[in-house]
Amino acid sequence: MNILTGNAPSNPATLSSSGAFSVNTAFLPAGNYSLKAHYGGDTVFAPSDSAPVSVTLSPQASKVVVGFVTFTNAGVVSAISTSAQSVPYGSNYTLRVDVENAAGTPCQNVGTGTVAFICPTGKITLLDNGSALNDFPNAQATNATNVANLNDRGFIEDQPIQLSVGTHPITATYTAAATSSYTSQASSNTLSVTITAGDNDHRCNLQRSQHRVGRDCDVDCRGEHEQQFCRGTERNGAIPERQHEPWNRRRDVQVNRGNKHDFRVFALQH
């Protein structure tokens, strides 16, 4: 016995002793279907098809959950939490946003990795105190945005991320794709993340990881100072030129030398 969606069969199954067959599935996407049963026949009964039955599956309500992911020193996930967090600046963490069903269950079991039912599709918009948190693909990228596509397991991760010192109320919204089996959701929980001032090692590690793509950068952490050097050159090459600026007033400095245009970014923090 097969259940047909249009002309596409399900996996065949054997009839019970009473001549009945039933099937349960959590993987039929929202949409309109014409279902019919096909019997393959045996030595007594000839093959036959049932009359088609029209079935409409509407998208289910969604729930958006913003979580805080922390790691062990070995880089293994230690916890995913929705409670308020307080960590030093430069700590290793990730923000994660899940789109769950109305019961608050994600399509993928976080512990086992098993997908139990059809996952949502669409986009997540990430907000910090109601303003765009432009971290995709990362905060250092040109034209960074606060909108990201859900992966095939129904969540997004904001990594690497490094919020500034202070308290950040993080929220998210979900815009369902046209073919999603979930409805859009304009609200989420509020994840409160407080970033405290970190030590020099944290800040130096941060700067090593966050230099802008396309520049030759290095960070020197010595004593009470942090120094970051980034050099960029135009197509015809350049000779490095150094300028000193406070960290919160970092700027690009261009020096003309004949047909060569050089710039070097230097930042110093006490």
- HSE-up of residue 33 (Cα within 13 Å, Cβ side): 16
pLDDT at 265 over 80: no
Boundary-marking domain end, from 147, 168, 196: 196
**Cis peptide leading into residue 160 (ω within 30°):** yes
Does residue 192 share a domain with residue 131?
Answer: yes
Q: Per-residue pLDDT tens for 158-192?
A: 987 889 999 999 999 999 999 999 999 999 999 99
Provide the pLDDT confidence category of residue 5 given band limits of 50, 70 and 90: low
Q: Per-residue pLDDT tens for 19-68?
A: 787 777 888 899 999 888 888 888 888 999 889 999 999 999 999 999 99
Q: Please identify which residue in the block is written with the tokens 């369902």.
A: 176
Residue 88 near residue 200, CB atoms below 8 Å: no
Rounded mean pLDDT, 209-228: 41
Rounded mean pLDDT, 207-221: 43
Does residue 100 share a domain with residue 13?
Answer: no
Residue 225's nearest CA partner among 241, 247, 243, 249 is 247
Quote the mean pLDDT of the chain.
76
pLDDT at 203 over 60: no
Residue 177 near residue 151, CB atoms below 8 Å: no
Does residue 169 share a domain with residue 256?
Answer: no
Does residue 132 share a domain with residue 104?
Answer: yes
Amino acid at 123: K
pLDDT at 225 over 60: no
Q: Per-residue pLDDT tens for 101-148?
A: 999 999 998 878 899 999 999 999 999 999 999 999 877 778 899 999
Q: Per-residue pLDDT tens for 77-91?
A: 778 899 999 999 988
Give residues with Cβ within 8 angstroms of 152, minimum separation 6: 119
The reported pLDDT for the residue numbered 1 is 56
Residue 70 near residue 157, CB atoms below 8 Å: no
> Which residue has better confidence, 116 or 2?
116
The reported pLDDT for the residue numbered 15 is 75
The reported pLDDT for the residue numbered 125 is 98
Domain that holds residue 90: 62-196
Domain count, the chain: 3
Does residue 108 share a domain with residue 40?
Answer: no
pLDDT at 194 over 90: yes
Model pTM score? 0.68
Q: DSSP secondary structure string, 153-170?
A: TSEEEE-S--PPSEEEEE
The reported pLDDT for the residue numbered 262 is 39
What is the b/e burial string over 134-161, where b = at least 16 CB atoms within 10 angstroms of the residue's CB?
ebbebeeeeeeebebebeeebbbebeeb
Burial class (CB in 10 A: 0-12, 13-18, 19+), 94: middle
Does residue 135 share a domain with residue 234?
Answer: no
**Cis peptide leading into residue 106 (ω within 30°):** no
Cα distance between residue 76 and residue 71, in whole Å: 5
The reported pLDDT for the residue numbered 91 is 84
pLDDT at 8 over 70: no
The reported pLDDT for the residue numbered 9 is 59
Does residue 211 share a domain with residue 146?
Answer: no
Does residue 170 share a domain with residue 258?
Answer: no
Enter the tokens of residue 148. 């990201």
Boundary-marking domain end, from 18, 35, 57: 57
Domain at 154, CATH number? 2.60.40.10
Does residue 126 share a domain with residue 71?
Answer: yes
Boundary-marking domain end, from 140, 168, 196: 196
Does residue 76 share a domain with residue 187?
Answer: yes
- Residues constituting the chain: 270
The reported pLDDT for the residue numbered 65 is 97
> Which residue has better confidence, 6 or 73?
73
Rounded mean pLDDT, 234-259: 39
Does residue 190 share a domain with residue 67?
Answer: yes
Does residue 184 share a domain with residue 68?
Answer: yes
Cα distance between residue 247 and residue 228, in whole Å: 9
